[in-house]
């Protein structure tokens, strides 16, 4: 495959940035998107040019680091996959592929395609800890949890914090991420002790970080690589209202 890449290049957060065009030949359709980016960077280094900075870690769809906006969609054209799980066979010979970083005030660009997502970490930290007694642990099977609740908690906990929901939202809202983290504990008895305090603090931190409001376009759910449901947003709103009233 021969492809044309239009990649956003930005030296740092203060740089204006612009798209740069690169030609790449003999791309294997079996390459992952990140492997293709590695090949491009090797070419740039051989030509004494600055390689493209981008986030990556596990390359197994687990860590959520591979945050790229590809042809107008977070993580690319396929649903339910991260960028590292996207392969070049999803594109055609001669295609032009446009690659950008997440676009959100709360995710400032560090360099090129790498953005600072520490705002998510601060939201998580604001949620605090779960109070679980130490010592002789209670037998897990003695804590009766309905299967439906356990399944919903597990689905919410699948969120990898990649930020695709923010990138997809026209308001750069983080409601899907925050609601998933609130829900995974609010649905379980272990998380009920601090439930009211947790949701109040996490929502307050989300607002402080400068994320936008949710207007229910569902773009977040459509682009989430782990298919996190917007039902979590409704659940978080209920938790927040109960915490305010009580």
State how beta strands 3-9 and 96-100 pair: parallel
d(CA 192, CA 26) in angstroms, rounded, equals 55
> Which of 51, 26, 48 is closest to 37 using CA atoms?
51
Q: Which residues contact 54 (CB under 8 A, 6 or more apart)?
A: 34, 37, 66, 68, 112, 113, 114
Mean pLDDT of 191-220: 96
> Residue ranges of the domains in the chain?
3-111, 117-132+140-245
CB 77 within 8 A of CB 222: no
The neighbouring-strand residues paired with 9 are 18
Percent of the chain surpassing pLDDT 70 = 97
d(CA 220, CA 216) in angstroms, rounded, equals 9
CB 203 within 8 A of CB 243: no
> Which of 152, 54, 163 is closest to 117 using CA atoms?
163
Question: For residue 140, what pLDDT is reported?
Answer: 65
Question: For residue 132, what pLDDT is reported?
Answer: 66
CATH architecture assigned to 117-132+140-245:
Orthogonal Bundle (1.10)
- Of the two residues 145 and 225, the one the predictor is more confident about is 225
Question: For residue 178, what pLDDT is reported?
Answer: 98
Question: For residue 133, what pLDDT is reported?
Answer: 66
The answer for 210, left when phi > 0, alpha when psi is -120 to 50, beta otherwise, is left
* Model confidence pLDDT, tens digit, residues 126-165: 998 877 666 666 676 777 889 999 999 999 999 999 999 9
Question: For residue 217, what pLDDT is reported?
Answer: 95
* Model confidence pLDDT, tens digit, residues 60-104: 999 999 999 999 999 999 999 999 999 999 999 999 999 999 999
CB atoms within 10 A of CB 155: 19
Looking at CATH, the fold of the domain delimited by 3-111 is given as Ubiquitin-like (UB roll) (3.10.20)
Question: For residue 137, what pLDDT is reported?
Answer: 65
CB 240 within 8 A of CB 127: no
* Model confidence pLDDT, tens digit, residues 34-57: 999 999 999 999 999 999 999 999
d(CA 239, CA 153) in angstroms, rounded, equals 15
């Amino acid at each position: 495959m021969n492809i044309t890449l239009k990649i956003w290049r930005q030296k740092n957060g203060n740089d204006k940035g612009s798209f740069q065009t690169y030609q790449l030949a003999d791309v294997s359709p079996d390459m992952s998107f990140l492997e293709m980016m590695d090949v491009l960077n090797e070419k740039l280094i051989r030509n004494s040019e600055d390689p493209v900075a981008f986030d990556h870690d596990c390359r197994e769809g687990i860590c959520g680091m591979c945050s790229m906006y590809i042809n107008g969609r977070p993580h690319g054209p396929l649903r339910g996959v991260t960028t590292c799980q996207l392969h070049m066979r999803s594109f055609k010979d001669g295609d032009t592929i446009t690659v950008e970083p997440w676009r959100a005030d709360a995710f400032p660009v560090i360099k090129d395609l790498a953005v600072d997502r520490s705002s998510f970490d601060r939201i998580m930290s604001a949620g605090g800890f779960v109070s679980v007694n130490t010592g002789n642990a209670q037998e897990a099977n003695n804590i009766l949890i309905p299967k439906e609740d356990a399944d919903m908690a597990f689905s919410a906990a699948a969120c990898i914090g990649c930020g695709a929901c923010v990138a997809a939202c026209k308001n750069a809202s983080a409601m899907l991420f925050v609601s998933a983290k609130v829900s995974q504990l609010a649905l379980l008895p272990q998380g009920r002790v601090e439930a009211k305090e947790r949701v109040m603090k996490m929502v307050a931190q989300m607002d402080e970080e400068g994320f936008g409001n949710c207007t229910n376009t569902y773009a977040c759910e459509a682009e989430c690589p782990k298919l996190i449901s917007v039902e979590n947003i409704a659940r978080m709103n209920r938790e927040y209202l109960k915490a305010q009233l009580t």
